[in-house]
Amino acid sequence: KAGVTQTPRYLIKTRGQQVTLSCSPISGHRSVSWYQQTPGQGLQFLFEYFSETQRNKGNFPGRFSGRQFSNSRSEMNVSTLELGDSALYLCASSLTGDTIYFGEGSWLTVV
């Protein structure tokens, strides 16, 4: 059974640009959540989608957004990139909500 797949794995963007990251959950999982990991702040919850609806949202500015498609695949978008957005962005999926499985992450560097 394939795990959570994230693309791209590495990317470099310039301040002010926007970026879209993609996530394919484990087959059958309908919940997809996103996290930002930085050395300074650790792992922080961004948002969670279930059946194409945002079910939970973390404490991030509106520049961070996401969506989920009918096949449960999800994307997250960050607009007007800032240097502080440089991070590892992790996607996770869940079948029952009580256990989440992570992908390999997308490394975003903003220059």
Partner 1 sequence: AQSVTQLDSQVPVFEEAPVELRCNYSSSVSVYLFWYVQYPNQGLQLLLKYLSGSTLVKGINGFEAEFNKSQTSFHLRKPSVHISDTAEYFCAVIPARGSYIPTFGRGTSLIVHP
- Chain residues in the site for partner 1 (CB under 8 A): 4, 6, 31, 42-43, 45, 48, 55-56, 58, 90, 92, 94, 97-105, 107
Q: Which is nearer to partner 1, 53 or 99 (CB)?
A: 99
- The burial class, CB within 10 Å (0-12 / 13-18 / 19+), for 107 is middle
In the complex, the smallest distance separating the C-beta of residue 75 from partner 1, rounded to whole angstroms, is 17
Q: Which is nearer to partner 1, 30 or 79 (CB)?
A: 30
CB 68 within 8 A of CB 57: no
Closest CA to 49 of 20, 82, 91: 91
Say whether the peptide bond before residue 25 is cis (omega within 30 degrees of 0): no
In the complex, the smallest distance separating the C-beta of residue 63 from partner 1, rounded to whole angstroms, is 20
77-103 b/e (C-beta count within 10 Å ≥ 16 → b) = ebeebeeebebebbbbbbeeeeebeeb
In the complex, the smallest distance separating the C-beta of residue 72 from partner 1, rounded to whole angstroms, is 16
Q: Which is nearer to partner 1, 9 or 15 (CB)?
A: 9
Q: Which is nearer to partner 1, 14 or 40 (CB)?
A: 40
